[in-house]
Amino acid sequence: MKALFLGLVFILAAALAVVPAGLGWWADVLAFLRGAAPVIAVFIGIIAVFIGIADIKDRAEAKKEETPKEGGPKEDAPEAKS
């Protein structure tokens, strides 16, 4: 309950800090967002590349599991009688 109340207090304080009647930090918030956008885009791109590589590896692994090995025993081979 304390965490919920504290979270609401911080959200309210942040909202009041950016409105013109409050502290008027809206221009600073926009400047921060403009500066952070390229950095965030780079991180999203790196994560997307890692996910793509993992997907390619998973598909290759799934393809290996589907195809039977060529060197294994054959099921159609006749058994030797002794």
- pLDDT at position 2, please? 92
Tell me the H-state helices in the chain: 2-18, 26-66
Is 78 a domain residue?
no
pLDDT of residue 17: 86
Which residues constitute the domain of residue 39? Answer: 2-64
How far is Cα 56 from Cα 64, in angstroms, rounded to an integer?
12
Closest CA to 62 of 54, 73, 74: 54
- What is the C-alpha separation between 63 and 70, in angstroms, rounded? 14
Q: What is the pLDDT of residue 34?
A: 92
Distances (CA, A) of 3 to 9, 10, 13, 27, 30: 10, 10, 15, 30, 28
pLDDT for 38 equals 94
Q: Could you tell me if residue 80 is inside a domain?
A: no
8 A C-beta contact, residue 17 and residue 23: yes
Positions of the chain with pLDDT under 50: none
Q: Tell me if 9 is assigned to some domain.
A: yes
In a domain, 69, yes or no: no
